[in-house]
Amino acid sequence: MVATPDPSVKMRTLKNNFHLAYRFILLVMLLVLAGCQTTNNATRTDNSGQSQPLMVGPSGYTLQEKNNLTYTYNSDIYLDVVIPIFDPGLPLDAHGEIDYERVEEENIWPQLRRAEAKRFAIQTKQALEKIRAFGSVSVVPTANTTGDLFLLGSVDYSDSEIVKITATVVDSTGKIWGKRQFEHRVSTGFFRDSLNDNKNPYGPVFRQMGDYVYTLLLQRSEARKKTIKDTAMLRYAQAYSPEVFNQYVGTTLVGGMFGLQERYEFTLLSLPSENDAMLNRIESLRHQEQMFIDRLQDQYTAFDMNTVEAYRAWQKETLPEAKAARKARSDKTTKQIIGGLLTAAAIIGATQADSSLQGVLVAGAAVGAVYSFKRASELDAELSVHKATLNEMGENLDIALGAQSLELDNKTIELTGTAGEQYEQWKAHLYKIYQLEKTPYKAL
């Protein structure tokens, strides 16, 4: 005898299936909505994203500053800042060579990224100069140079829409003042406003870096800043006569901690006499080196001016592509997740399909999975088109540095090669002069 199904059990099963379907559909809807951006803003926000209270009518008159930070530097000690060309952030393999497979995967165009490494260093210099709390601010080819304070930058990401730069601030004693990553996203509406014609789309990230260095500077005492300047001078003298000046500066290798790399730190042990003839001569050579660096600034400025039109055109044209590529990546990921959930639901439902409702869910989940994976594939094709466009538009930016002739002790010195090569040639000539004066009987 076949038992008659209990109607109440059948009803409970149907209700459970309905609740299961409801929760499943709700989950899918939440996932879809998570990939969307809300564009309807009811309140006005400032640059930090914080809502501002509504106010009309006059509220007093003040001079409006573009930056929230007010620069007031009450000191007679001005540190000279050195900004080596930024690390372009090209991925490297285990042997320290450029990993071109990752370059391709990450949409990096090396020529463009190297040009950005120079441009971003120059624009950071300009931001620091506006603060007026430092001595000279110079862009140099490498960190192998003299200076009181070094700002080391690395281009972590750049695609015309989003830029990420890590800045490490180190003084001449090897002490790391701070390390931070800065990020900015350019709105696609930036280039629609004619008031932005002479503005740098990435400008905010360089102002943030300048403010960061300024804030760190204010935390240093007058005595500390003087020690930094004295250490910078004596370390320069060490490079010329280590046998004489090593006694004034101690060197310690410090292990990396808290995410900071291993580094050398330098301790000022004592100071030579103010009338030390050898130190005075080295100071004059240091002045000659600084004059070369000052002249190099003109070439970097010219590079910035010569590339600004092409770079801005590239950025304006590729900004929509970069945004579309980012959206395509986000949409593709969302579609893949939903497709995976729908596939899983179809498999689970097929093994437990004991009602017409579950049968409908199984069929719906299967169709949804096919559509989601198909859409993800289409987005992948769109993404490939965006990548190709970005690469094509970033192909033709590079820099060349012309030869130059300089006068030194009534002799004309011809410098050739890149900025770094010319700088090293100039330093070598200065060292020859010092050695010649130190040992005039030698033929150098």
Closest-CA residue to 407 (of 431, 429, 424): 429
Mean of pLDDT values over 381-394: 46
Between CA 77 and CA 84, with CA 80 as vertex, the angle to 5 degrees is 160
pLDDT reported for residue 56: 54
Over residues 13-32, the mean pLDDT reads: 55
Average pLDDT over the chain, rounded to an integer? 78
Residue with tokens 């004991």: 354
Same domain, 332 and 368: yes
Q: Say what the pTM is.
A: 0.71
Kindly state whether residues 223 and 337 are assigned to the same domain. no
d(CA 364, CA 256): 56
Instruction: Look at residue 398 and tell me whether its pLDDT is greater than 50.
Output: no
Residues 200 and 306 occupy one common structural domain = yes
Residues 225 and 332 in one domain: no
Residue 427: give the domain boundaries: 404-438
In a domain, 352, yes or no: yes
H or E element: which one contains 139?
A: strand 137-140
The CB density around residue 97, as the number of other CB atoms within 10 Å, is 9
The 3-state secondary structure of 71-97, one letter per residue: CCCCCCCCCCEEEECCECCCCECCCCC
CA distance to 173, 278, 344, 352, 356, per residue, from 18 (Å) = 70, 91, 18, 14, 11
What was the pLDDT predicted at 422?
Answer: 85
Q: Which amino acid would we find at residue 222?
A: E
Q: Rounded to an integer, what distance in angstroms lies between the CA atom of residue 433 and that of residue 428?
A: 9
Residue 344 domain-assigned (yes or no): yes
Q: 143-157, 353-367, 373-387: which has the highest mean pLDDT?
A: 143-157
Same domain membership, residue 308 and residue 196: yes
Ordered alpha helix ranges (H), 352-418: 356-393
Domain assignment of residue 340, yes or no: yes
Least confident of 45-49, 84-88, 213-217: 45-49
Whether residue 222 sits in one domain with residue 351: no
Overall number of domains in the chain? 3
Q: Does residue 3 fall inside a structural domain?
A: no
CA 295 to chain centre: 27
Task: Evaluate if residue 434 carries a pLDDT over 50.
Answer: yes
158/177 same-domain check: yes
Residue 72 lies in a domain: no
Distance (Å, rounded) from C-alpha 335 to C-alpha 375? 7
User: How does residue 180 score in pLDDT terms, banded at 50, 70 and 90?
Assistant: very high
| In a shared domain, residues 329 and 313 | no
